[in-house]
Amino acid sequence: MIPEVSDGTFEWLRRGVWLVLALGVLALLVRGADGPPDPYLVPADADDAGTVEEAELSAGAAVVPEDDGEGAPAPPATAAAPGEVPEPAVPTTAPPGPGPSGTSPPPSTTIASAPPPPVATSAPAPAPARRPLPGFGETDFRITAGGRTFDGVALLADDGPSRSQGLMEQTDLRGYDAMVFRFDSPSKGEFYMRNTRIPLSIAFFDAEGRFVSSADMEPCPDEVRRCPTYGAARPYLHAIEVPAGDLGRMGIGPGAVLSFP
C-alpha cells in the first residue's frame, strides 16, 4: 500500500530539491573563482614535468623552443584566452628542404660587400694666367741637365728696346717662368737692376746652348748713382732671368743646355 502524500509534504520536497541545486551551482562558482585568471590548456596525459613547465611560463621565464628537426626552431605557442580557439603558429621563414644526403643544409647567409671607398685624386694646380707684356713676344724653352728636363714659357726680349727695358717696373713675371734675352750674335753686354722691383737670378748660355755662368741680382734703389752690373764669364747668345733662387728648380747650372723646342 503506497502512503498518501499530502500537499504540504510535496511542497517541502520541491523546495529541498531547489535548495540542493542552488548549493551545487554556488559551490561550482566558488571553486572556479579560486583558479588562475588565465589558465593554460594542459593535455590530458600531461605529467609532472609538463606541469612545472607551465608554471615557469606563467611566471614569465624565457624558454628556448626545441628544434623541430626541420632546421629552424619552432615558434613558441601562445596561450589562448578563455573561450577562444588558439590560432596555429605560422612560420616566418620556410625551412630549407633536405639536401642530397637527406640532411637539411644550413641556411645560406649573404653578406653584402661594402662599396670601395672613393679614391682621393688631387687635380694638378692650374697654371697661373699669363699676362703678355706690350713690346715683348713669348717663347717655349727647355732646360736639359743630367737626364732631367724642364719645359717652360718665357717672355722674349729679342730687339734693342725690349732688351733695354727687361723687367723694369715689374712686380712679378706676369705668370711666365722666365724672361729670355736673345742677341743677334754672341755678346759680352752686362746687366744692371735700375728700376727693377724684384730680385732676380740670371744665367748665360753660348751659341750652342751650353751653360756659361750665372749670378744673383738685387734691385738697385733710385738714390744709388751707380748700380752694380752683372756679366757672363765668356760671350753668350742667350740670357735667361728668373725669380731669385729658381735656377736650381729648373735645373740650370754647370752642364745644363738651353734649347727652344
pLDDT at 56: 38
CA distance linking residue 111 with residue 101, whole number of Å: 26
- Whether residue 212 contacts residue 258, with contact meaning beta carbons closer than 8 Å, is answered with no
SS3 200: strand
pLDDT at 110: 53
Question: Of 256, 258, 259, 260, whose CA–CA distance to 146 is shortest?
Answer: 256
- Whether residue 202 contacts residue 243, with contact meaning beta carbons closer than 8 Å, is answered with no
By the 10 Å C-beta count (0-12 exposed, 13-18 middle, 19+ buried), 178 is classed as buried
pLDDT at 92: 46
pLDDT at 111: 54
SS3 73: strand
- Domain locations along the chain: 137-259
DSSP strands (E only) in the chain = 137-145, 148-157, 178-187, 191-192, 200-205, 211-217, 229-230, 236-243, 257-259
Neighbours of 34 (CB within 10 A): 6
pLDDT at 2: 45
Neighbouring residues of 30: CB distance < 8 A, sequence distance ≥ 6: none
pLDDT values of the chain reduced to their tens digit, one per residue, 261 residues: 444 545 666 676 777 777 777 776 666 555 554 544 444 334 444 444 444 344 333 333 333 444 454 444 444 444 445 455 455 554 444 444 554 445 555 555 555 566 666 655 555 566 679 999 999 999 999 999 999 999 999 999 999 999 999 999 999 999 999 999 999 999 999 999 999 999 999 999 999 999 999 999 999 988 899 999 999 999 999 999 999 999 999 999 999 999 999
Identify any residues that bridge with 137 across adjacent strands, giving them in sequence order: 156
Neighbours of 256 (CB within 10 A): 21
pLDDT at 4: 53
- Whether residue 66 contacts residue 73, with contact meaning beta carbons closer than 8 Å, is answered with yes
Neighbours of 75 (CB within 10 A): 12
**Which three three-digit cell numbers place residue 225?**
748713382
CA distance linking residue 8 with residue 13, whole number of Å: 9
Based on C-alpha coordinates, what's the Rg of the chain?
55
Place of cell 717672355: 155
Domain 137-259 fold is Jelly Rolls (2.60.120)
pTM, to two decimals: 0.53
